[in-house]
Amino acid sequence: MTFEYAPAPESKAIVSIKPKYGHFINGSFVAGKKHFPTINPATEEILSHISLGGASDVDKAVMAAQKAYTKTWSKLSGKERGKYLYRIARILQERAREFAVLETLDNGKPIRETRDIDIPLVAAHFFYHAGWADKLDYAGLGHSPKAYGVAGQIIPWNFPLLMLAWKVAPALATGNTVVLKPAETTSLTALLFAEVCQQAELPDGVVNIVTGDGSTGAAIVNHPGIHKIAFTGSTDVGKKIARAIASTEKKATLELGGKGANIVFDDAPIDETVEGIVNGIFFNQGHVCCAGSRLIVQESVAEEVIEKLKVRMAKIRVGDPLDKNTDLGAINSKEQLVKIKELSAIGDAEGAERWSPQCNLSSKGFWFAPTIFTGVTQANRIAQEEIFGPVLSVLTFRTPQEAIDKANNTPFGLSAGIWSEKGSRIFWASQHLKAGVIWANTFNKFDPASPFGGYKESGWGREGGKHGLAAYLKTGKETGAK
């Protein structure tokens, strides 16, 4: 007897995608000059054409944002700003299905994740920050913290709308206006969000969205009218931004790469640990900066953990992202697929042992089977470099101190996981791990109330929670107060 799940695709009928999009500047859509195609990475079908924003588009957007800041947004009370944020949050909830389908089409991630994780978290971020808008005086940041003015925000393709929410919600709550650039391959949900801003009757120019590539992002970073940069993306680009804004008064938060260590002690709850390992590295095709991409497992249980992990990996359903039963969707772009393949080939060449379950991958679109490498050491590139795909490197340790040493032996420091049933060990390990986010007996859990960000080359500053607010506010003497 077999229990085959019949296809259960979510309907595409709920979204209407225009053949061509412009930028969203000063409350309306304005035509772009040059366009580039955006595709569905699961089928390679062209979904639409996106405008390539140039310096003049960015300039118009910054002007609009400045004007909106001076004329309207900075004059509104926190309570009034909060009303807009609540309104946006409610509209996002009402249109959740539409956003989920569009995100899945444009990004390639499974509908189960956009429906159950991305979009609910997006709404949660707006609700959470809406609540802060009129309480900033009580956020522990001193008396009357002040907005910076115009925030330039550049976001990645892995969680397109969620990263927009992480950026836009705190910026607006704290009284800043925004010029945002979505990632080149995933602009569609940001453009739909622009419609939500219109629907919410957000004052013109408070949110401006300029689409484009790296050159568009550079124009935002270098524009003199920008007061604060918020960037999520690669460490390489993050370093370029840091150089570009050096010796300017621009503030920045940078959320960059990672090589998260998922540490499994011998007293871990093994079945749930295996789930956590799967969730740590195969969630969102491993396109997660805080992914648990290094499994560091105690040698005495390594065999059992790896055996169970393989059994579990064989159950991962890879395929049509719109199918409600899909666990692992498409790789976001051809470029990313090439990177994943290259680093995996290096893993082979370095002598690590590669294993993947049998998967029937479609010949159209960009796909990579869930993969683990065993027998990996610290000296392997796949233990050091961010792969940003569904590829797990497995290392072992003998003593708790060795686990910590290995976990910290990386230029990154974004996330880590600890699996143990012993509370004291969890506290000890979390005190010694150099990572901005540490999960105990779980992984990849997000909450708008919890600050997120990295140590070392994983970034500057925090997003979310009270700490995230501080990144958008002048405090103390910065405000001009004596």
Per CB under 8 A, 120 contacts other proteins: no
Q: How far is the CB of 268 from other proteins (least distance, A)?
A: 7
Comparison of 34 and 427: residue with beta carbon closer to other proteins: 427
Reference 418, options 435, 399, 441; nearest CA is 441
Q: How far is the CB of 349 from other proteins (least distance, A)?
A: 34
Characterise 105 by phi-psi region: left (phi > 0), alpha (psi -120 to 50), beta (else): alpha
Stretch binding other proteins (CB under 8 A), from 167-175, 223-231, 271-279, 290-298? 271-279
Binding to other proteins (CB under 8 A) within 427-446 occurs at 441-442
Burial-class residue 389 by CB neighbours within 10 Å (0-12, 13-18, 19+): buried
Quote the CA–CA distance of 440 and 419 in Å, as a whole number: 6
Quote the CA–CA distance of 114 and 391 in Å, as a whole number: 21
Comparison of 224 and 269: residue with beta carbon closer to other proteins: 269
Q: How far is the CB of 7 from other proteins (least distance, A)?
A: 8
Q: How far is the CB of 264 from other proteins (least distance, A)?
A: 11
Q: How far is the CB of 240 from other proteins (least distance, A)?
A: 39
Binding pattern for the stretch 209-248 against other proteins, x by CB under 8 A and - elsewhere: ----------------------------------------
Find the binder of other proteins among 44, 80, 201, 272 (CB under 8 A).
272
* The total number of residues written for the chain in this structure: 482
Residues classed as catalytic: 255, 289
Per CB under 8 A, 6 contacts other proteins: yes
Per CB under 8 A, 276 contacts other proteins: yes
Find the binder of other proteins among 5, 75, 303, 401 (CB under 8 A).
5
Comparison of 59 and 275: residue with beta carbon closer to other proteins: 275
Six token digits for residue 389: 């795909």
Comparison of 305 and 394: residue with beta carbon closer to other proteins: 305
Binding to other proteins (CB under 8 A) within 400-429 occurs at 421
Stretch binding other proteins (CB under 8 A), from 3-11, 19-27, 90-98, 149-157? 3-11
Q: How far is the CB of 269 from other proteins (least distance, A)?
A: 4
Per CB under 8 A, 325 contacts other proteins: yes
Quote the CA–CA distance of 203 and 183 in Å, as a whole number: 25
> Which helix (H) or strand (E) is 46 found in, with range?
strand 46-52
Contact indicator for 260, 280 with CB cutoff of 8 Å: yes
Q: How far is the CB of 429 from other proteins (least distance, A)?
A: 16
Reference 152, options 33, 245, 21, 81; nearest CA is 245
Instruction: Give the sign of the dihedral formed by CA 209, CA 36, CA 159, CA 198.
Output: positive
Find the binder of other proteins among 1, 13, 246, 379 (CB under 8 A).
1
Contact indicator for 265, 298 with CB cutoff of 8 Å: yes
Question: DSSP state, 4?
Answer: P
Q: What is the 3-class SS of 137-203, one letter each residue?
A: HHCCCCCCCEECCEEEEECCCCCHHHHHHHHHHHHHHCCCEEEEECCCCCCHHHHHHHHHHHHCCCC
Per CB under 8 A, 8 contacts other proteins: yes
Quote the CA–CA distance of 278 and 258 in Å, as a whole number: 17
Quote the CA–CA distance of 472 and 152 in Å, as a whole number: 11
Stretch binding other proteins (CB under 8 A), from 17-25, 149-157, 265-273, 424-432? 265-273
Stretch binding other proteins (CB under 8 A), from 122-130, 177-185, 263-271, 426-434? 263-271
Quote the CA–CA distance of 361 and 452 in Å, as a whole number: 34
Quote the CA–CA distance of 195 and 157 in Å, as a whole number: 20
Comparison of 277 and 471: residue with beta carbon closer to other proteins: 277
Report the DSSP pairing between strands 261-264 and 415-419.
parallel
Comparison of 14 and 338: residue with beta carbon closer to other proteins: 14
Find the binder of other proteins among 30, 244, 270, 346 (CB under 8 A).
270
Helix, strand or coil, per DSSP, at residue 5: coil
Contact indicator for 311, 454 with CB cutoff of 8 Å: no
Q: How far is the CB of 243 from other proteins (least distance, A)?
A: 42
Contact indicator for 316, 357 with CB cutoff of 8 Å: yes
Strand partners, 51: 35
Q: How far is the CB of 407 from other proteins (least distance, A)?
A: 21
Residues near other proteins (CB under 8 A), total: 25
Find the binder of other proteins among 134, 275, 350, 402 (CB under 8 A).
275
Find the binder of other proteins among 37, 140, 224, 269 (CB under 8 A).
269
Per CB under 8 A, 2 contacts other proteins: yes
Find the binder of other proteins among 94, 116, 299, 478 (CB under 8 A).
116
Which residues make up the interface to other proteins (CB under 8 A)? 1-8, 112, 116, 267-273, 275-276, 315, 324-325, 421, 441-442
